[in-house]
Amino acid sequence: VHRSNASTLRHTPRNWLQIENMEKIRLSKNFSLAEMVATSFPAFQKPPTTQEIANLAYLCAAVLQPLRNSLGEPIIITSGYRSPSLNKYVGGVANSRHLNGFAADIRIKSEAHALKMFEILKKNPCVDSCLVERKGATRWLHVQTSYNPRGLFNFNYNVWN
């Protein structure tokens, strides 16, 4: 979280963290808190805790912003932080890194676009795992980080649900 927002977060009641206010909190140059918690199922989403916001800021600063900078174009996050009720509703696994703000799913424009992002992320030592996931005809890039990254990569991961 940029320094200008750090004190705001420490002294902000959690109920203030509604989606309309989250756009004001920048996690990196090109990523806002609102973008990282957005969902098509808002009834199931709950605001993240301060620790989860800190984890999202680390994900953005260490992984997503460097990816965007290397690509030279915006990337579209389709799923970032998920509250437990949202994760359950969308069929996420119980130990999903989305639950603590350490994961994001990114829209893939084409096979070449997926491969380019995959190759950039393979060079980033902060990446815990990177999966080009597939469920039927739908594909997306899942990337996660941790404070002790394992560096796991799979370009053709099938999601079974």
Interval 78-92 mean pLDDT: 94
Question: Residue holding tokens 């970032």?
Answer: 80
Residue 3 has pLDDT above 90, yes or no: no
Residue type for position 43: A
pLDDT digits (tens, 9 = 90+) for 101-153: 999 999 999 989 999 999 999 999 999 999 998 887 888 999 999 989 999 99
pLDDT in tens, 11-52: 444 444 555 677 678 999 999 999 999 989 988 989 899 999
Q: Rounded to whole angstroms, how far apart are CA atoms 8 and 112?
A: 41
Give me the pLDDT at residue 14, please: 47
Q: Are the C-beta atoms of residues 115 and 133 closer than 8 Å to each other?
A: no
